[in-house]
Amino acid sequence: MTASLLLGVISLGLLLQLAIGFAVAVSRRRQADPVDGLATRDPTLDVAAWPGWRPFRITARRFEDAAQTQCSFHLAPVDGAILPPFMPGQFLTFSLKIGEDAARNTVRCYSLSDRPSLASYRITIKYARAPDDKPDVPAGVASSHFHDRLAVGDIVMAKAPAGQFTLDSDPTVVSVLIAGGIGITPMISMLAEALSTHPDRPMHLFYGVRTLEECAFRPALEALAQAHPSFVLHLACSRRDTDSPPGHLAGRIGIVLLRRVLPLGRNRYYLCGPPAMVTELTRDLRASGVPEGDIRSEAFGPATPGQPLTLVGDAAKLSVQFKRSGRTLLWDGQDASLLDFAERHGVPIESGCRAGACGTCATRVLTGDLRYPMKPDQPPDAGFGLLCIATPTSNLVLDA
């Protein structure tokens, strides 16, 4: 009798322990579940961004459009440690060894295209074909490398998430997201995260594509619109011979169309796409009275739109010496940055984001002073300058 009672008590205790263990495991898994994103992260699990380059393994790849021009790559850290959080809209910078010249790395930035997760990141890359008017030039170096050569299991080196193109935390202001082509990548991350934390947040997405086949993430976008009546999806196909889906828009996204479709009142605009589109829309929004603080933008290209051209009063008197290249040039104030200036004169400078966020263009300033029209995301080390957003305020000698 005593023995069986003892056995009963022990079994009950074991059962209780198992139940508690299971509950803790479920709660920990929920906190660490990648799909749950930041909203359910355990703050004690948050980790700092890593310095320099970190190896990531490609764990999956998948096309996101019917035309198969935009491919997602899922990346898990090789060290298996949990990932620091990021703000939707930020990007990763990659250093790629491509081709014969193993000593020279190609640096490119790609936006994070999913909600934050503890276990992996997702980026989505559009294959940069040769331009229509120059069919004989090679396809884009980095995008073709990802599409044509990188497979599941391959390793790429990436810097920690960076960038200031992020969604306002105030969920009451109407957010108007405008994406051109592959400019959809930061937007899908912003939408998925914002609507999961504030399901009734008022949001519009204007997504311009050439044809419907090039519309990326269409099922995911339509599912979000279906689940959240406060989110309105506007697809617009620009090629004349293609139709937008019923209920959507036709033609290019411009200020007239926005004025016609959007509700009156204050909106905050987020623009991402080719530089020409971003520059034109920024100008037209400003001209139509939208305050500068209500427009945020990021261009996926060589220019840095929105950044005013800085004409220095005594510009022609400033000399810029690129010591290692053996060139001394006159700064004439025509360029928005020292990086543009160097490139225009054929002086090679590595660059990535061209927006003061990735640190790739950091160059040692041997003599002289720089000015930053916009605050760098990550200030450079002492004695270095970020040439992509800097202009000279004195004669300069650069270690480049």
Ligand X SMILES: Cc1cc2nc3c(=O)[nH]c(=O)nc-3n(C[C@H](O)[C@H](O)[C@H](O)COP(=O)(O)OP(=O)(O)OC[C@H]3O[C@@H](n4cnc5c(N)ncnc54)[C@H](O)[C@@H]3O)c2cc1C
Residues that bind ligand X (CB under 6 A): 91, 108-111, 124-126, 128-131, 134, 137-143, 163, 182, 185, 298, 300, 353-354
Task: Provide the token pair at 218.
Answer: 């269409």
Choose the one of ligand X, ligand FES, none that binds residue 356, judging by a C-beta under 5 to 8 angstroms depending on kind.
ligand FES
Give residues with Cβ within 8 angstroms of 356, minimum separation 6: 372, 374, 375, 376, 377, 378, 386, 388, 389
Minimum gap (Å) between residue 277 Cβ and ligand X: 14
Closest by CA to 217, choosing from 62, 390, 381, is 62
Q: Which is nearer to ligand FES, 41 or 159 (CB)?
A: 159
Are residues 195 and 225 in contact, defined by beta-carbon separation less than 8 angstroms?
A: no
Nearest residue (CB) to ligand X, 111 versus 282: 111
Smallest separation (angstroms) from ligand X to the CB of 148:
11
The residues binding ligand FES (CB under 6 A) are 351-354, 356-361, 386, 388
Burial profile 113-127: b = 16 or more Cβ within 10 angstroms, e = fewer = bbbbbbbbbbbbbbb
**Residue 259 DSSP SS3:** helix
By a kind-dependent CB cut-off of 5 to 8 A, residue 140 interacts, out of ligand FES, ligand X, none, with: ligand X
The least distance separating ligand X from the CB of residue 271, rounded to whole angstroms, comes to 13
Residue 184 interacting partner from ligand FES, ligand X, none (CB closer than 5 to 8 Å by kind): none
* Pick 130 or 223: Cβ nearer ligand X: 130
Q: How far apart are CA 49 and CA 61, in angstroms?
A: 25
φ, ψ at 238 (rounded to 5°): -90, -20
Strands, E assignment, 349-390: 362-367, 370-371, 384-386
Which does residue 207 bind out of ligand X, ligand FES, none, counting CB within 5 to 8 angstroms by kind? none
Least distance CB 302 / ligand X (angstroms): 8
CB of residue 370 vs ligand X: minimum separation in angstroms?
Answer: 21
Element at 74 (helix H, strand E)? strand 70-77
Q: How far is CA 240 from CA 209, 211, 245, 246, 250, in A?
A: 12, 9, 14, 15, 9
Identify what 361 binds: ligand X, ligand FES, none; CB under 5 to 8 Å per kind: ligand FES
65 binds, among ligand FES, ligand X, none (CB under 5 to 8 A by kind): none
Residue type, 351: S
**Residue 319 contacts residue 297 (beta carbons within 8 Å):** no
For residue 349, the minimal CB distance to ligand FES (Å) is 9
The residue (of 58 and 299) whose beta carbon lies closer to ligand FES is 299
The two tokens of residue 99 are 């081709």
> Which of the choices ligand FES, ligand X, none does residue 141 contact, using the CB cut-off of 5 to 8 A by kind?
ligand X
Minimal distance in Å, beta carbon 112 to ligand FES?
16
Q: How far apart are CA 213 and CA 64, in angstroms?
A: 10
Q: Which is nearer to ligand X, 30 or 344 (CB)?
A: 344
Task: For ligand FES, give the closer residue by CB, 186 or 359.
Answer: 359
